[in-house]
Structure 1
Amino acid sequence: MPTTAPQTIDELYQALQENQQRPYGRARTVIAEELVDAAEQFAQPLPLVRTLLELQEAYTYGSEPRKSPVVFARLLTLFDEQPDVFTENLRHLLFWRFKWVANALRQLPEIPLPSLRQWLTEMRDRYEKEGLGLQPYYGQAYQLAAHVGEDTTLAYELWAGRTRTRLSDCEACETCQRALYHLAAGDDERALRAWEPVLAGQESCQEEPARSVSYALLPLLRTGRTDRARELHLAGYRGCRRNPSMSGEVGRHLEFCALTGNEARGLELLAENRSLFDEVDSPLDQLDFLTGVEVLLQRVEGLGHGELPAAGYAGRTWTAAALRAEVQGRADDLAARFDARNGTTAHTDRRRARLDRAPLLDTLELTLRPRALDDVAPAAPVAAPAARTATAVPESLPELIVRTRELEEQGHPDARACWARLRTLVTARGYTHPDDPAVGPLVQLRADLLADEASRAGDRDEFADCAALYEEAAALYDDAGLPGHAAVARAGALFATAEIPAEGPAGDAERAEARAAALTAAHAAMVRLQEETPGLAPQQESRLLRMRATVLGLRLQTSGSEEHAAAAFAEVDLLHAFATRHDIAGQISGALLLRAGAYAISGDLPTAVTEIDALLDRLNTHGPAWHLPRTLGLRARLQLGLRDAQAAHANLTEALRLAADWPAGTVGTARLHGELAEVCMHLGRPDEALRHLTRSAELDLRHGSRTDAYCAYSNAAQLSLDLGRVEDSIALLDSLLAEPDVTAGELDDRLVAQLRLTRARALHAGEDLKAATAEFVALAAESAGWDDDPGSHAMIAAETAVLLGESGEFGRAREAADQALAAHAREPRYEHLSNSLRELARLQAQQQGPDGLAGARAYLADAARIADEARAAGYEARGRSLDTALAYEHGRVNAYAGAYEDALAALDQALALLGEPGPDQDHAGEWAECVRLAGAVQGIYLERPDPALTRLDAAVSRLTALGHTEETEPLVSLAARLRDEE
């Protein structure tokens, strides 16, 4: 709405048109109210009629049924007083909306039943007076009978047996009513047969198929169609979420979650729709929504999770149990009010039937992120797995402290559970430290706990925190008089500090150089630290040597320098000799693992595999057994490098089997799943890869590696999209973007942007062009400020331009394309920009014909400049050459705009650039398509069939001789058409 009220009728209509593009909700409704006030200033009734119609629509779809009849009364008065003002279209809208008023009155329990019947009589009289068919009236009479709980048999026949009229509800809405009639009779199969055209997308409207989907979910489950129910839940929920006028549908999706073992997803969806508690002004919709909410919360509470937080009415923090009690009271009251108005118990009975329904399935995996209520409960300390009982957490505090240190010294995975138990005890109020020489002072234990916390921060790549915690631990070890412990902690701090990404260097080479220098400095400092610390125990000395060797291995990985390779191998040999001399099993296998890694980094994969095989023999004989999963994981990576994906799959599968014996966060289980996903992609098993990606992400999330988790989930969402599982991708991304650390802005903004970008692409693939465009426009605006990454902004702005072009908004598309070109000038994205510009040219020519030719050619001129730049830079496109693609697009664009001579010349140029087809399938297909379009332009539009047939016949012969018979089919078809027309 402009800051000032419209001063002319044209301005009013412009503002009215703009408001009609807004989503339904309070913002649109307020502007509609203001436009009615503005229309009343003009001395003409027509603007007032149009604005009142918009206001009634805003009230209807904004779930404000109390106000809709009031507006309609004004419209009806205007019609009675000045019928000539109403054009045929406005008259149609007026009589259509008698049904809206009937529906609004049913939703208000304070409206007496005689008043509802009186309104239907008014509708019938008006329809008869205007000579309109009564099928719509009988449809409303049936819906009132169904609402009240009367016998609907006669009312249904009087409606369903009549011929439809222009004022009948749309086919989709009437289909839903027929299906609901059969559903109420207990005939799931007949209801689903009636629904099929809507569920299949053959019929739709403003609220369909989302409404039908919500009702069909449980019948689908009851008849064993679980996959279909899952599919429709994902698509249908997206069609109604956060929509006040479809709150009842949201409630049924919550109920579906509760009855399929998806209570955690239900709580997630409830949080996403929290606004509906306050925005829904329709008592009937409130009742429907609240009953669905109660079904979910009742199930959560029944499973023993009533203390879980739940999103509810604003102004208070709710648990599931407290919210259920609140919802129950409100919904019971609403049902009682409707029953009192209707003189039946229908609404209380229907509500009770929903609440008494038992779960239909123990579990149904609805999304790529399946979670149980335990996953959303507060995290409990990680316990040792039940499968192994050899290592138990001691009950005695002195024994626990001593045992924990022993396990930590061995690098044993069970140390994690012991540290968690100790941390709980030490931080509890009233903790008393044992007076036991074997335990040592409290300051030592506090240092131990800090060192463990630092180690876990390092596992999460939180290197700055890791370094700070190690330094703090070292200071406490100094206070405890333990210089060896302090030295190990300080070495850990040096290692973590070297891993902190350097600020400043922008290029990959500069970053690698800076990292190698930091690792070199860290190694030198570690050597000095070890030399200057007296009295190091063998275990401490071996840990320092392990860190030194690891640092040099990372430096070799960063630089690839032969000089660095020699130093890395020498340090590994030093560690191995020391560990062997002192019989430290864990460090011996660590040295052998580092040596194999050094060979792999140096490019000698066969020797690396030989080293790994020797290590596996040792581990199987001497242990430690918990090193086996990681070692098998490295062997799999080497095998993948040697192009033996099948062997890599077998090793990773075995690694995961062995990893199941140990706490997942201690043996790299998440990484193993991620690597197995990569191997599955190499083997052409994407569905299996998807399962491992989501499992990897789930484990990372559970153990605090949130960035790694989101990256894995992002890859899973993209893979799901690539597999055509669009709704799965959108549902997963919606779930991630609703996570508290995402909404609070705590996650890396670029990672969040990547999640949103994938979601926008998924929305586009799902044909939700409006939502996709809105997200792309927002991302383009945000990425414009990425001064350190103009290339990403170029790609996002280019994709945004294409979506705006698809929507026909070519002015805004040109602005976005110009942004993309400006960013491309700073960091080139040749192929992406060229593809987008050519697509924009095609869209403008296709949609606007000759009027769009100038704009389309301007895009092609931009694409030509990019092709020139790419050629000068030596850039080679991954697909067809940019010049060839450009020539072909000139042909298409000119053909769409009717410039057929120019089109044919461009296509001949494209064929010349492509060259004669060869054995390559892709090249042959591209060449055949170019010939087909040239033949169509020449033979059909330029009316020169003879040269066109000569062209087509020669191409068919050439392709046939090369064995490309499939590519000849469209050419043969076109040639037959041209001969038929001669």
Structure 2
Amino acid sequence: MPTAPQTTDELYQALQDNDRRPYGRTRTVTAESLAEAAELFAEPLPLVRALLELQEAYTYGSEPRKSPVVFARLLNLFDEQPDVFDEQLRHALFWRFKWVANALVALPEMPLPSLRQWLTEMRDRYEKAGLALQPYYGQAYRLAAHTGEDTDLAFELWAGRTRTQLSDCEACEICERALYHLAADDDERALRVWQPVLDGQESCQEEPARSVSYALLPLLRTGGADRARELHLTGYRACRRNPSMSSEVGRHLEFCALTGNEARGLELLAENRNLFDDVDSPLDLLGFLTGVEVLLQRVELLGHGELPTPGYAGRTWTVSGLRAEIRDRADDLAARFDARNGTSTHTDRRRDRLGRAPLLATLELTLRTRTLDDVAPAAVPATTPAAAVAHTESPSELIARARELDEQGHPDATACWARLRVLVADPGWIHPDDPALGPPARLQADLLDDEAGLEGEKDRFAEAIALYERAASLYDEAGVPGHAVLARACTRLPAVEISEERADDDAKATALANVHTDLVRLHEETPGLAPHLEARLLRLRATVLGIRFQTSRDDEHKAPVLAETDLLLAFATQHEIAGQISGAHLLRANTHALAGDLSTATAEIDRLLDRLSANGPAWHLPRALGLRGRIQLRQKDAKAAHADLTESLRLAADWPSLTAGPARLHADLAEASMRLGRPEEALRHLTRSAELDLRHGSRTDAFCTYSNAAQLSLDAGHVEDCIALLDSLLAEPDVAAGEMDDRLVAQLRLTRARALHAGEDLKAATAELAALAAESAGWDDDPGSHAMIAAETAVLLAESGEFDRAREAADQALAAHARSPRYEQLSSSLREHARLQAEQQGAEGLAGALALLADAGRVADEARAAGYEARGRSLDSALAYERGRVNAYAHQYEDALSSLDRALALLGEPSPGKDEDTGEWAECVRLAALVEGTYLQRPAPALTRLNEAVSRLDALGHTENIERLAALAGRLRDLEPGAAPA
């Protein structure tokens, strides 16, 4: 805190500001400073309020040792000056006896007699104050449940009593009752008791998150897996990273371990690494560590004990190492509690949790389903059929086989090279003494050449170029100049990608033309190439021209591509190179498709498929079917496309080494599924496509696809799925380290903020958007995006009632809009901002709301001058309608009616076939009639307005808009002079 409060008003304002902060060190430290400042004031009331805030910070910040000390001071103040405590403060004081009881139970060093003595103190104080004892018996039951002794009697003494104003909230008491039945192994009864909390009917500071964490396993045991999945997503988000709910986090980790979601469990553990050091409550820590141990034990059992994992600060941990450390610490905590309590309850409970077998083999908890293999470091490449064969071959045979497969363009060549890469890296490797294999430099060049191709597929162009150049030098050294020429040729295309990353399409097309010229010259200067090498060079020439055509979409660039593919086809046919024959046909079909000649493209693909079915190579079938599926999508035949793409994916499964292809197929199947009205299927394909791209190393492509999946999930109403997916992505190490493209990450965060808002977490959504708006202010190359983000931020701040900050954000949006217009988005946000201010502040907020609408009016004027046409509502009619609503909220009814009449004039009369416009017109009529008939007390003209509108809509057949108008007309008739009393 910069300066201590100098007056009580400043102190109370600082306390109020601190109360809005989340629980944690910042809030606690501030509360400590304010309590010190309150000591300096002469009157005791500021100190009482500051101490109450400090005790709350300690209680919900998981610092149970400090909470009782603060409460002792409060109790002394109450004993010495009871008149300082008004009814509200007195209620707060007696409520917090329970907080102290819970804090003392959480400390194993606190003797059991002292706990009972405190409960006696609570009972005596309540009786002296004339308060009912149900809260006391509630705490007595909690102590009994903690020790594991006499719980049935304690439960009856508590649960049978009438609730009082000082009883725990309904949600907390429901949880305690449910836990009693859960301890008796009655899952179904516990879940019945929990239902009001799990359904959201009862809630509080820690509920339903606390109940959810305990209900997950009973739900699984009683067949409620889908409900458990749903509650896991919502419940985990409510307790993550929160020291006071660390035990609940531990139960979510346990849930992951027992449902085949060990990889997600490790991900959540990483997200909560702060809890290892931030939890000061031994009881909470015991619950957290036991949940962590359940997870780590499961991961170790599955053979992944050497996986790295986050743990206590100061050293690097593996799963096995951390599990051993946690086991010792948690065993010690349980033993300390049992020694204090004189029972074995906590040791027994730990043993029961650690002894549970998985309840389900697998349960898809999130859209991003991963296994432990997915998160394990890639030490040894995945085994494929070819690699399996390679293990039985000698090094000489493996090298020969790899070169043979590579010459054929066989996908399994990659697995052979990967196996050889592992062998060569071994310190004891000795190159076979076989003249047919060439010198060691030849093998090193082959491996570098293969690695360069893999890097290029991952868009790591600079790395690919460097590898190709090293390979070319080694090929020269090994005496195979043809291979060196081809390696150098392969550097040309990635070089264009690097130099033209931010260039326009014309510049890139020109660069590609120059590359083609260079490749032709290189080809002409290198006679005597082996046929398979010459075919590759011809393929590269055709590919470069194909990319130029794809980039420019200039019809003049089509013929050169076809001419090059004809050369490739003729050469490959002459030398019977099946893979390049197929490649030529694919290039031709794709070129015709790019040119819009879909019928010719389809005929080309059909011929190719016939050839592949008869002569192979079989690994080209998935690619050819995939291309035909994409062409069918362009022909708007989604059903046929879905069938071809599905078959392509089925065939691709026979070739595990096809890495990039299946990801594209899943993405195309997602599009086909959406066109067929199957969003859930589309979502599965999008996430599968993204995860395959991630495994292949194409992280940017993967994150783009995941971004689309998140948006689709949000559009489908799966809010928690969307948030969980985005949380997982944003926790990735390269994202957290700022290594991922900042605009892509910003899009993920923007979608997350919208999902949080849709999930009614306004505080979190506003914080995310405000942070994003601050960052995007520095995007000098993209002010339009900042305008959009700042505008959305303004609306959320207004929704939270923070109108000064909302106005600042709106001004930022307007300034950015001046540089890069976003007419429709900005107008919409300004109107919504104005409505919220008028709705919440009434007449007091009118001036600010009208100023915002004036800004929206200027935006509409700019749009009109620029010839911009809104995709949705007319900016002018929408503005007039909102002005009517704003004035109505501020009780300026004449102005409101005038604005609504203007909106109706701008909208014009409804017409057949325009349902959306008609709905907007009908709502405007309804609001105008409401203002005129009810607030201006002129029911007759309002009824005339409504009756004419109903007749008009009825004549047009728009009956869906009539009901609300007719209902309002019925109410207005009762207001007419002479109407019969209601």
* TM-score bracket for this pair, using the shorter chain length: over 0.9
1:387-446 superposed Cα distances (whole Å, 9 cap, x missing partner): x89975662111111211111111100001001011111222132112222111111221
Q: 1:393 to 1:637 in 2, by over 3 A?
A: farther
Q: 1:503 to 1:711 in 2, by over 3 A?
A: closer
Deviation at 1:464, TM superposition (A): 2.3
- Residue of structure 2 equivalent to 1:367: 366
Q: Is residue 471 from structure 1 mapped to residue 474 from structure 2 by the alignment?
A: no
TM-score normalised over the length of structure 1: 0.98
**Residues 176-195 of structure 1: pairs in structure 2 closer than 5 A:** 176-195=175-194
**Residues 270-349 of structure 1: pairs in structure 2 closer than 5 A:** 270-349=269-348
SS at match of 2:900: helix
- Residue of structure 1 equivalent to 2:569: 576
**Residues 467-866 of structure 1: pairs in structure 2 closer than 5 A:** 467-500=465-498, 502=500, 505=503, 511-663=504-656, 665-666=658-659, 668-866=661-859
1:140-186 superposed Cα distances (whole Å, 9 cap, x missing partner): 11111111111222222222222211111111111111111111122
- Residue of structure 2 equivalent to 1:216: 215
Deviation at 1:664, TM superposition (A): 5.0
Matches of 1:487 and 1:682 in 2, distance apart? 46
Deviation at 1:504, TM superposition (A): 5.9
- Residue of structure 2 equivalent to 1:508: none
- Residue of structure 2 equivalent to 1:904: 897
SS at match of 2:490: helix
Deviation at 1:455, TM superposition (A): 0.7
Matches of 1:128 and 1:330 in 2, distance apart? 41
SS at match of 1:671: helix
Deviation at 1:562, TM superposition (A): 2.2
Please say which of residues 372-381 and 858-867 is displaced more in the overlay.
Answer: 372-381
Q: For the Cα contact (< 8 Å) 1:384–1:392, is it kept in 2?
A: no
SS at match of 2:435: coil
Deviation at 1:257, TM superposition (A): 0.9
1:883-931 superposed Cα distances (whole Å, 9 cap, x missing partner): 1211111111111111111111111111122222222221221111111
Q: 1:391 to 1:345 in 2, by over 3 A?
A: closer
Gaps of 5+ in 2: 977-982
Please say which of residues 463-472 and 573-582 is displaced more in the overlay.
Answer: 463-472
Q: Is residue 875 from structure 1 mapped to residue 882 from structure 2 by the alignment?
A: no
Matches of 1:672 and 1:392 in 2, distance apart? 29
**Residues 58-77 of structure 1: pairs in structure 2 closer than 5 A:** 58-77=57-76
Matches of 1:666 and 1:210 in 2, distance apart? 41
- Residue of structure 2 equivalent to 1:934: 928
Letter in 1 for 2:103: A
- Residue of structure 1 equivalent to 2:979: none
1:771-829 superposed Cα distances (whole Å, 9 cap, x missing partner): 11111111111111111111111111111111111111111111111111111111111
Matches of 1:636 and 1:253 in 2, distance apart? 42
Matches of 1:964 and 1:463 in 2, distance apart? 59
- Residue of structure 1 equivalent to 2:253: 254
Q: 1:389 to 1:130 in 2, by over 3 A?
A: closer
Gaps of 5+ in 1: 506-510
- Residue of structure 2 equivalent to 1:411: 409
Q: For the Cα contact (< 8 Å) 1:665–1:703, is it kept in 2?
A: no
Matches of 1:107 and 1:520 in 2, distance apart? 74
Letter in 2 for 1:606: S
Please say which of residues 702-711 and 200-209 is displaced more in the overlay.
Answer: 702-711
SS at match of 2:414: helix
Matches of 1:112 and 1:187 in 2, distance apart? 32
Matches of 1:78 and 1:287 in 2, distance apart? 35
Matches of 2:659 and 2:767 in 1, distance apart? 43
Percent of pairs identical after alignment? 77
Matches of 1:437 and 1:963 in 2, distance apart? 88
Deviation at 1:97, TM superposition (A): 0.4
Q: For the Cα contact (< 8 Å) 1:592–1:612, is it kept in 2?
A: yes
Q: 1:596 to 1:227 in 2, by over 3 A?
A: same
Matches of 2:793 and 2:784 in 1, distance apart? 14
- Residue of structure 2 equivalent to 1:974: 968
Matches of 1:186 and 1:567 in 2, distance apart? 76
1:639-688 superposed Cα distances (whole Å, 9 cap, x missing partner): 11111111110110010010000025446011100111111111111000
Matches of 2:363 and 2:430 in 1, distance apart? 49
Q: For the Cα contact (< 8 Å) 2:411–2:657, is it kept in 1?
A: no
Matches of 1:980 and 1:651 in 2, distance apart? 65
SS at match of 1:680: helix
Please say which of residues 710-719 and 668-677 is displaced more in the overlay.
Answer: 710-719
Q: For the Cα contact (< 8 Å) 1:211–1:249, is it kept in 2?
A: yes
SS at match of 1:438: helix
Letter in 2 for 1:424: V
Q: For the Cα contact (< 8 Å) 1:840–1:859, is it kept in 2?
A: yes
Q: 1:952 aligns with which of 942, 946, 950?
A: 946
Matches of 1:205 and 1:244 in 2, distance apart? 17
SS at match of 2:974: helix
Deviation at 1:500, TM superposition (A): 2.4
Q: 1:667 to 1:277 in 2, by over 3 A?
A: closer
Deviation at 1:81, TM superposition (A): 0.6
Q: For the Cα contact (< 8 Å) 2:930–2:942, is it kept in 1?
A: yes
Q: 1:141 to 1:384 in 2, by over 3 A?
A: closer
Matches of 1:922 and 1:684 in 2, distance apart? 22
Q: For the Cα contact (< 8 Å) 2:652–2:658, is it kept in 1?
A: no
Deviation at 1:637, TM superposition (A): 1.0
SS at match of 1:205: coil
1:236-295 superposed Cα distances (whole Å, 9 cap, x missing partner): 000001111111101111111111111111111111111111111111111111111111
Q: 1:709 to 1:664 in 2, by over 3 A?
A: farther
Q: For the Cα contact (< 8 Å) 2:853–2:879, is it kept in 1?
A: yes
Matches of 1:286 and 1:924 in 2, distance apart? 60
Matches of 1:359 and 1:590 in 2, distance apart? 49
SS at match of 1:6: coil
Q: For the Cα contact (< 8 Å) 2:411–2:655, is it kept in 1?
A: yes
SS at match of 1:981: coil
Root-mean-square deviation (CA, aligned residues, Å) is: 1.5
Letter in 2 for 1:939: G
Matches of 2:818 and 2:142 in 1, distance apart? 62
- Residue of structure 1 equivalent to 2:443: 445
Matches of 1:357 and 1:133 in 2, distance apart? 42
Q: For the Cα contact (< 8 Å) 2:384–2:412, is it kept in 1?
A: no
TM-score normalised over the length of structure 2: 0.98
SS at match of 2:778: coil
Q: 1:665 to 1:759 in 2, by over 3 A?
A: farther
1:494-552 superposed Cα distances (whole Å, 9 cap, x missing partner): 111122252664xxxxx111110111111111111111113212211111111111111
Q: 1:389 to 1:783 in 2, by over 3 A?
A: closer
- Residue of structure 1 equivalent to 2:432: 434
Matches of 1:157 and 1:955 in 2, distance apart? 65
Q: For the Cα contact (< 8 Å) 1:626–1:667, is it kept in 2?
A: no
Deviation at 1:32, TM superposition (A): 1.0
Q: Is residue 923 from structure 1 mapped to residue 917 from structure 2 by the alignment?
A: yes
> How many residues are paired up?
975
